[in-house]
Amino acid sequence: MSEQPDARPSGTTEASSDALSAAGRRTFGRIPGPLLALGFVMTVVQLILMFVAVGGGNGEPATGKTAATGKTAAPAPDHTVEITYIVTGDRPSADIEYTTPHGQEDHEATVLPFKVTFTFDRETFVDVQVQNRYQHGAGNVMCTILADGVVVQQSKASGEHAVALCDGTAGVDKPLPGVPVPSLAAGAAPLPAESLLTEVVPVKQYSGRGSPVLGRVTDSDARLSYMELGGKWNRSRATEPALTGFNREQSFDAEPKWGATVRSGQVDGDLLDKATGTDRLRKLAAAVQDDRRTYAYVKGETTIRDVASQPLEVGGHDAWALVSEMHFRKYGVKSTMDLSAVVVVDTGRPRPSLLWISLPETEKKLWPDINTLIESLRAT
C-alpha cells in the first residue's frame, strides 16, 4: 500500500510542527502563512541595505557621506613625501650626485646654487652628495634635504676635495630645529651657448698696436717659424713635448692665476682620426680647439664660440686658421673669456704642425698680437 502525502492547508510553511517546541508551535500557529513569508523577505532586504550603507560588497572602504551622520568621511592618508635637494657653496660649481625615485643621477660641474625636487614614497632612502671641484681651489660646500619644505638633513665640508653627504628616510626624518632653508641667491651667470662656424669667416684685424717684436722663433721639430713678441712677453723657450704637447712656448702672467701663451708643435696623433676628407685641416683645427678646452681650461665649464675660420697658405703649404672665444669660469681668475687662435699647417708629414695663441680679455689691447703671429707664420 503506497504512502499518502500529508494533507497540508494551502499557504502553510514547510517546517514540521513536530520539530518545534510548544511555544514555537503556538507562535507560528498565530502567524498566517503569507505574512510569515513576507517577513522573511523584508529581513533579507534590510540586511542588504545595511551592507550597502557601510560600503561592503566591493571590498573597498566607504567614501563620501555616511548614512548615519551625513558627514564626509576622512580621506586616506598621503603616503608620499616631497623631497628637495639643495646644494650651495662659495665656488662657481661642484660635482653633485643624488637619488631620484627612478635611480641615481650624477652631474659634473653643476652651477651653484642647485635645487631639485622629487616626490618619494614614505620610508624611501634619499641622499645627495656634493664634492668641491679641485680646479677651483679649496672651497666650502653644503648639502641640504627638505621634506615637505622643512629642513631635515644638512651637512658641510671644506677643502680642495671637500665632500658633503646628506642622507635619510623620506617621511621619517625629524625637522632640524632652528635650521633655515639655505639662500638660493643667484650664482655665477650661465655661460654663453656654443657657436661653431661651418662657413668661412676671415680673421679680423684687431685694433691697437699690440706688442713689439724681438725677432723670429724657429721650431725645427714642427718646421715652423714666427715672430717672437716683446713687451710683457717673456722670452720664447723650448719645452718638453712629452709633458706639454708642444716644442716651444712664450708666455706672461696676466694675473696671479692666469696668463697668455704662444705655443707651437705638432698635432697630437690622437686627433688625426678627425682629420679626414677635403676639409681635413678645418676639422683638425676644430679638434685642436676642443682639445685645448679640455686641457687648458676647466673641463665641463668652458664653451666655445667661433669668431673666424678661414683657409691660409703658409710657405706654399695648405693651412687653416680658427679663432674662438673660450668662455669659462675659474675661481680666483678675473678673466672669463680668452681669445684662442689655432693655425694648423700641412707640412707634408704625417702629423701636421700647429701654432696656438691664447690671450685673456683682460689683455684685450694685445689681441693684435694674434694678427702679428698669424701673418708672420712660415713653414721651414
Could you read off the pLDDT of 174-233 as tens digits, one per residue? 999 989 999 887 655 667 889 999 999 999 999 999 999 999 999 999 999 999 999 999
Confidence of residue 15 (pLDDT cuts 50, 70, 90): very low
The pLDDT assigned to 18 comes to 44
Contacts by residues 71-79 (CB-CB < 8 Å, ≥ 24 positions apart): 79/121, 79/122
The pLDDT assigned to 59 comes to 41
Helices (H) and strands (E) counted in the chain, each on its own, are 5, 18
The pLDDT assigned to 185 comes to 72
Task: For residue 200, give Cα distances in angstroms to 58, 322, 347, 356, 374.
Answer: 74, 10, 22, 19, 17
The pLDDT assigned to 188 comes to 57
The pLDDT assigned to 139 comes to 85
Q: Does the structure show a pLDDT above 80 at 286?
A: yes
Q: Which range has the worst mean pLDDT, 52-61, 238-247, 303-312, 335-344?
A: 52-61
Q: Does the structure show a pLDDT above 80 at 14?
A: no
Confidence of residue 273 (pLDDT cuts 50, 70, 90): confident
The pLDDT assigned to 19 comes to 44
HSE-up of 102 (CA within 13 Å, CB side)?
3
Q: Does the structure show a pLDDT above 50 at 379?
A: yes
- % of the chain at pLDDT higher than 70: 78
Residue of 288, 318, 289 lying closest to 379 (CA atoms): 318
The pLDDT assigned to 249 comes to 98
Per the model's pLDDT, the better-predicted residue between 271 and 39 turns out to be 271
Name residue, grid cell 684687431: 206
Q: Does the structure show a pLDDT above 90 at 362?
A: yes
Task: For residue 121, give Cα distances in angstroms to 125, 171, 307.
Answer: 9, 8, 51
The pLDDT assigned to 51 comes to 45
Residue of 222, 262, 236 lying closest to 369 (CA atoms): 262
- Alpha-carbon span 322 to 318, nearest angstrom: 14
Confidence of residue 128 (pLDDT cuts 50, 70, 90): very high
Per the model's pLDDT, the better-predicted residue between 166 and 193 turns out to be 166
The pLDDT assigned to 346 comes to 95
The pLDDT assigned to 44 comes to 44
Task: For residue 281, give Cα distances in angstroms to 130, 238, 353, 363.
Answer: 41, 26, 11, 29
Q: Does the structure show a pLDDT above 80 at 4?
A: no
Q: What is the arithmetic mean of pLDDT over 15-44?
A: 43
- Alpha-carbon span 61 to 107, nearest angstrom: 45
Contact 170, 147 (CB under 8 A): yes
The pLDDT assigned to 26 comes to 39
Per the model's pLDDT, the better-predicted residue between 9 and 247 turns out to be 247
- % of the chain at pLDDT higher than 90: 62
The pLDDT assigned to 74 comes to 52
Name residue, grid cell 718638453: 240
Q: Does the structure show a pLDDT above 70 at 46?
A: no
Q: What is the arithmetic mean of pLDDT over 347-353?
A: 93
Q: Does the structure show a pLDDT above 60 at 292?
A: yes
Q: Which range has the worst mean pLDDT, 44-53, 80-89, 125-134, 204-213?
A: 44-53
Beta bridge partners of 353: 266, 345
Residue of 338, 337, 339, 281 lying closest to 310 (CA atoms): 281
Read off the pTM. 0.62
For all residues of the chain together, what is the average pLDDT? 83
Per the model's pLDDT, the better-predicted residue between 125 and 51 turns out to be 125
Q: What is the arithmetic mean of pLDDT over 283-298?
A: 92
Could you read off the pLDDT of 35-45 as tens digits, one per residue? 344 444 444 44
